[in-house]
C-alpha cells in the first residue's frame, strides 16, 4: 500500500467503529490522523490519547475548521450523519461516511447534490467492498466465469442481547436491523447485480421498542433474477453469501468480514482465495478514498454516489412496507 503523498485525516465520533478505523489506518500507507471530534470533548480527548492524535474537539464545526484535516471519517450515529457530513462539506472537507449513509434517501440526496456542486469527494464507508476476497469476487463476476447470475443469498444476523436503551433497539437513535445489519446483504446484492430490485417482498418482526428485530427480503429484478436476504439483531445467523450463476457459483463465508471466497465452476475443481490479514480490514476503504483524492476523483467507482442513493431508496421502500418511520420523517 504505497502512497504518493500523505493524506491527513480527521475522525468525527470517538466511538467503537471509529476506534477500529483508527487502529486499521496504520495499515493504509500514507495516512495520518491529525484530529478527532465528538459531542463530548472529554471523550474526544480520551480517544486522541489512545490513538496518538494531536488535536481533539468538542464539536463537528471545530473539526470542519481544522486547517490540516483533508478528509474526515464520520463514525457517528446514522441519525446525525447528514448533519455531520453537511457541516464538514461546508468546511471544504472530503468525507468517508459510515453506513448507512443517512437515515433515508432524501438526506442522502441532499448530501450528494451539495458535494457534486462543490466538487468535493464523498464516499459511503461500505468497507466490505474493498476486502481482497470481495475484490476477487467482483473480478469473477466481471469475467462472466459463472455465467449469468440468477440468484443471490446473503444474511447477516447477531444476537445483541436485550438493551432497549442501547443504539440497536432504540428508535430515537435510528435503531433496528435493516439500517445497521441489513444494509450489508442489501448492498451485497446491489454490488452483484449492479441494479436495484424491480419488486420487493418482505416479512418483518417489529419488537416492543418499535424497531425491526429481524426481517426477510425477496428481491426480484427486471432480468428475472432474485435475491433472498435476511438480517437480525436478535438472532445469530451464518452470515454467509452465495452467488448462483448458470455456469457455477461463488461462496463467501462470513461475507461481511470476507477472509476467503470459493469459486465453483461446473465440472471443474473449486478455486479458493484467502486473505491472511492481521487487521480487521477497514484500511482498504481508506486506501480507496486516498487514491481518489490523489487522483482528483470526487467519488469511488467501487461505491459510486448514485448507487449509495439508490440503495437508500431501496431501504426506504422496504421500511414503507413495514410502516417504520423515524423521527422527522
pLDDT of 328 higher than 70: yes
Q: List 72's β-bridge partners, or say none.
A: 10, 95
Give the strand pairing for 199-206 and 212-220: antiparallel
Alpha carbons 226 and 200: distance in angstroms, whole number? 10
Q: What are phi and psi for residue 53, nearest 5 degrees? A: -100, 130
Confidence of residue 2 (pLDDT cuts 50, 70, 90): very low
Confidence of residue 3 (pLDDT cuts 50, 70, 90): very low
Amino acid 137: pLDDT:
98
CA distances 193 to 95, 131, 186, Å, are 26, 18, 11
Average pLDDT of the chain?
97
Q: How much of the chain exceeds pLDDT 90, in percent?
A: 97
Q: Are 189 and 155 in contact (CB under 8 A)?
A: no
Amino acid 217: pLDDT:
98
Confidence of residue 270 (pLDDT cuts 50, 70, 90): very high
Q: How large is the average pLDDT for residues 148-172? A: 96
Confidence of residue 85 (pLDDT cuts 50, 70, 90): very high
Give tens-digit pLDDT for 23-37: 999 999 999 999 999
Rg from Cα positions in the chain: 19
Amino acid 254: pLDDT:
97
Q: How large is the average pLDDT for residues 172-189? A: 97
Give the global pTM.
Answer: 0.96
Alpha carbons 59 and 76: distance in angstroms, whole number? 12
Best CA proximity match to 243, nearest among 139, 132, 154: 154
Give the strand pairing for 226-232 and 122-125: unpaired
Helical spans, DSSP H, in the chain: 16-24, 41-51, 60-64, 81-90, 105-118, 132-143, 177, 183-193, 283-295, 305-322
Q: How large is the average pLDDT for residues 122-127? A: 98
What the chain holds in terms of domains, given with CATH numbers, is 7-126+282-300 (3.40.50.720), 132-274 (3.30.360.10)
Which three-class secondary structure state does DSSP give residue 40? coil
Amino acid 107: pLDDT:
98
Helical spans, DSSP H, in 160-204: 177, 183-193
Alpha carbons 270 and 264: distance in angstroms, whole number? 5
pLDDT of 174 higher than 80: yes
Amino acid 42: pLDDT:
97
Amino acid at each position: 500500500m504505497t502512497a504518493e503523498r500523505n493524506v491527513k485525516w480527521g475522525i468525527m465520533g470517538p466511538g467503537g467503529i471509529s476506534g477500529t478505523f483508527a487502529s486499521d489506518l496504520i495499515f493504509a500507507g500514507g495516512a495520518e490522523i491529525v484530529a478527532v471530534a465528538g459531542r463530548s470533548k472529554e471523550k474526544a480527548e480520551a480517544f486522541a490519547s489512545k490513538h496518538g492524535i494531536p488535536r481533539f474537539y468538542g464539536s463537528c464545526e471545530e473539526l470542519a475548521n481544522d486547517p490540516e484535516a483533508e478528509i474526515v471519517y464520520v463514525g457517528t450515529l446514522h441519525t446525525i450523519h447528514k448533519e455531520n457530513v453537511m457541516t464538514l462539506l461546508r468546511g471544504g472537507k472530503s468525507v468517508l461516511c459510515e453506513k448507512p449513509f443517512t437515515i433515508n434517501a432524501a438526506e442522502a440526496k441532499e448530501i450528494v447534490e451539495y458535494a457534486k456542486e462543490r466538487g468535493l469527494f464523498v464516499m459511503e464507508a461500505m468497507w466490505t467492498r474493498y476486502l481482497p476476497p470481495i475484490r476477487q469476487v467482483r473480478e469473477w463476476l466481471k469475467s462472466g466465469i459463472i455465467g449469468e447470475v440468477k440468484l443471490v443469498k446473503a444474511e447477516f444476523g447477531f444476537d445483541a442481547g436485550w438493551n432497549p436503551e442501547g443504539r440497536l433497539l432504540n428508535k430515537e437513535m435510528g435503531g433496528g436491523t435493516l439500517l445497521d445489519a441489513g444494509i450489508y446483504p442489501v448492498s451485497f446484492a446491489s454490488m452483484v447485480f449492479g441494479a436495484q430490485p424491480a419488486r420487493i417482498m418482505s416479512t418483518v418482526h417489529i419488537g416492543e421498542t418499535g424497531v425491526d428485530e429481524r426481517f426477510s427480503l425477496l428481491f426480484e429484478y427486471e432480468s428475472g433474477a432474485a435475491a433472498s436476504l435476511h438480517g437480525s439483531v436478535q438472532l445469530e445467523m451464518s452470515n454467509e453469501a452465495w452467488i448462483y450463476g448458470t455456469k457455477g457459483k461463488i461462496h463467501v463465508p462470513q461475507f461481511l468480514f470476507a477472509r476467503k471466497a470459493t469459486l465453483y465452476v461446473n465440472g471443474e475443481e473449486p478455486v479458493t482465495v484467502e486473505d491472511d490479514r492481521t487487521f480487521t480490514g477497514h484500511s482498504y476503504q481508506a486506501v480507496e478514498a486516498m487514491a481518489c483524492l490523489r487522483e482528483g476523483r470526487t467519488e469511488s467507482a467501487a461505491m459510486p454516489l448514485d448507487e449509495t442513493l439508490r440503495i437508500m431508496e431501496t431501504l426506504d421502500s422496504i421500511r414503507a412496507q413495514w410502516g417504520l418511520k423515524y423521527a422527522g420523517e
